[in-house]
Amino acid sequence: MANWQQVLVQPETRLAETIARVDASALQIALVVDGSGRLVGVVTDGDIRRAILRGATLEAPIQTVMNPQPKTLRTGATREEILAYMRLHVLHHVPIIDRGGKLVDLALLDDLLGARQLPNWVVLMVGGKGTRLRPLTDTVPKPMLHVSGRPILESMVMRLSEQGFHRIFLAVNYKAEMIRAHFGDGAKWGVEIEYLHEEQQLGTAGALSLLPVKPDTPVLVMNGDLLTHASLDKMLHFHQDHAAAGTMAIREYDLRVPFGVVSLNGEDIRAVEEKPMQRFHVSAGMYALSSPALNLIPRDTYFDMPALFQRLIAEKMTTVAYPLREYWLDVGHLEALEQAQREWTEP
């Protein structure tokens, strides 16, 4: 847990002093307590920024800015209970109080998860029209459909934040304004969100040509309609260990033929196999790409991931498959959405 005593302030503490303490601590929160140590409010970095935008002066007492009804947990809460509460309310800090309301600790998401900030950028492809999910997507873009009480895309952003990814690009097109309005700059989830606006549909790889510069480290690319418990940093380690230009996450997909399959030799029947099962490896819509791969993507041109990997193969660049074993679901059609509603839980 954090050294939370350094961000303790009194209700009458000036806004200027509170800002100084928040900045010095890097905790992005101040804890407001009364003379007996009871928690009476909290002030986040976002609260401070919004107060300044409203015209609050630096001499204002912090009690005029604080949230007087913060979400808290009681002493004795387990790590799992704290994490579940943070996920439910999209929190990065939770004050821990005793039965009398006295502040005894501050739980931090980073401490609980052992989180660290990774340098790799993430691009989420969220510009599709979701035609297979109509009429639901007539008014709502597919990544904003709700599963377990929150948009699919929000679950993705939360998972990325928890794993240490902090710079996320959303490639938007269809109903982009709804996505922008919900996520803004990403501060609510502890990440930096920027937008790559596709003037026309660019496919699952083409939007990467809109990145402001080529990143120095491999970039993680994901379709925006996925629900997964995968540890994405492990996929990046796999990519780097293989010195790959492109890595594709794959899943096993079983296809059962619903009939007896007949093998022939001319007119003679050689064998009959009842409802055989065939197994394939399919793309999971998750990729790691290094700069040489990004250089092969044409600008402002429709270009899909299969075409990019075909080009990488033709150029004799290293491409590898990353077997995905964790929970994964592509919410691309109504049956998958219904399945997600039944079984998706935050890890």
Catalytic residue list: 275
Torsion of CA 90, 94, 99, 104, to 10 degrees: 180
The runs of H, that is alpha helices, within 90-194 are: 109-113, 152-162, 176-183
Transcribe 237-269 into DSSP letters: HHHHHTT-SEEEEEEEEEEE-SSEEEEEETTEE
**Angstrom distance (rounded) from CA 217 to CA 117:** 13
Q: What is the DSSP letter of 118?
A: B
Look up residue 32 and give its two tokens.
């407001």
Look up residue 299 and give its two tokens.
């600008």
- What angle do helix axes 15-25 and 45-54 make, rounded to 10 degrees? 150
For residue 21, report the phi and psi dihedrals to the nearest 5 degrees.
-70, -40
